[in-house]
Amino acid sequence: MTPLALTMGEPAGIGFEIAGAAWSTLREGTTPFFLIGDISGIRGVPVEEITAPEQAAAAFAEALPILHRPLPTQVTPGHPSQAHAPAIIASIEEAVMLAKAGRAGAVVTNPIQKASLYAAGFRHPGHTEFLGEIAGTGVPAVMMLASPMLRVVPITVHEPLAQAIARLTPELIITHARIAHAALIRDFGIARPRLAIAGLNPHAGEAGTLGREEIDIVAPAVAALRAEGIDARGPMPPDTMFTAKARPGYDAAICLYHDQALIPIKALDMDGGVNVTLGLSIVRTSPDHGTALDIAGTGRADASSLIAAIRLAAEIAQRRNA
């Protein structure tokens, strides 16, 4: 298969470390990938500098292939530098360019430290919004967190909770649910996806006694989705919809704000969770954790989520190619 492109992420975080660990785990499999970044950041595993993605597959069994993109200053683990921001952004842009050209099968992004990027003029709330701009398809870029135990789609993401709630509309729910529904069919191979739409208030509002958002916003969205032939259910009480008994009843949970989605999946499967961006012209996945600056350089980083992200990216790419 076409090798996947792995971005550098924040050099002062754990990205280089988990990239090397992921290569050690996957080197004998069928998911070759190459890293776009500074070759000096990888320690403890053999590396091979390549000059084109097409060289990655041949090198992969013996060394981690790297498109060497040198950083302007030395990296100090745990201490991000604003000087590295242009190279971090360029790594993402190059990976997307290669994927759009068919020279990379998918993009897997290492975590970024948004504060240092903001200081350098990065104007996007995060990866998802940036990727929507440079690899969009005319629909919003939508975040999904996926693991074998649960898939969740937050309708509002990186914004204050009060602001997120104020922005909720039936149309916003419908748009995200449509994109999730299409992705479950195309990328996950689910012929008739079932969507669980979360309520906002305790016990999904208890018929309006604990809030009217379920009546005025969520229920109309569910009705509209069902009228389109989408198997949508809700509003579902957020305190029970993620239980072991409830989860087998749907293929993805459409959640109304960031933590409503991310808390349950991280509690259930922090190591196996993968961030997937829906609505792009390319395949993009990422670990569901951050840069872990507090343990960078200590050798304690767990590569499980990155490994899961690489495997899922390969699976989605193969389905699209098929």
Task: Give residue 20's identity as a one-letter amino acid code.
Answer: G
Q: Do domains 1-138+281-322 and 149-271 have the same CATH topology?
A: yes
| pTM listed for this prediction | 0.94
Q: What is the pLDDT of residue 263?
A: 96
Render pLDDT for 115-139 as a digit per residue (tens, 0 to 9).
888 877 888 887 888 899 999 898 9
Residue 1 is classified by DSSP as: -
- Report the pLDDT value the prediction gives residue 186, as an integer from 0 to 100: 96
In angstroms, the CA 317 to CA 306 distance is: 16
What is the per-residue pLDDT for 33? 97
CATH classification number, 1-138+281-322, choose in 3.40.140.10, 1.10.10.10, 3.30.70.600, 3.40.718.10: 3.40.718.10
Give pLDDT, residue 136. 87
Residue-level pLDDT at 123 = 83
pLDDT tens-digit readout, 67-106: 999 999 999 999 999 999 999 999 999 999 999 999 999 9
Annotation: binding site: 127-128, 158, 203, 258, 266, 275, 284
Indicate the DSSP class of residue 69.
-
pLDDT score of 1: 79
Q: For position 256, what pLDDT does the model report?
A: 97
When pLDDT is averaged across residues 306-311 and rounded to a whole number, the result is 96
Dihedral angle over CA of 226, 232, 238, 241, nearest 10: 140
DSSP characters over 93-153: HHHHHHHHTTSSS-EEPPP--HHHHHHTT--SSSHHHHHHHHHB-SS--EEEEEETTEEEE
Residue type, 249: G
Per-domain boundaries in the chain: 1-138+281-322, 149-271
pLDDT single digits (tens) 213-258: 999 999 999 999 999 999 999 999 999 999 999 999 999 999 999 9
Reported confidence tier of residue 32, pLDDT bands at 50, 70, 90: very high
Which residues are annotated binding-site positions for a divalent metal cation?
158, 203, 258
Specify the 3-state DSSP secondary structure of 283.
coil
Residue 183 — very low, low, confident or very high, per pLDDT cuts 50/70/90? very high
The pLDDT assigned to 38 comes to 96
Q: Is the predicted pLDDT of residue 295 greater than 90, yes or no? A: yes
Which range, of 51-65, 110-124, 152-166, 187-201, averages the lowest pLDDT? Answer: 110-124
Containing H/E element for 206? none
Model confidence at 107, pLDDT cuts 50, 70, 90, reads very high
Asked whether residue 285 carries a pLDDT value surpassing 80, the answer given is: yes
Asked whether residue 59 carries a pLDDT value surpassing 90, the answer given is yes
Topology of the domain comprising 149-271: Isopropylmalate Dehydrogenase (3.40.718)
Binding site, annotated residues for substrate: 127-128, 266, 275, 284
* Mean model confidence pLDDT for the chain: 94
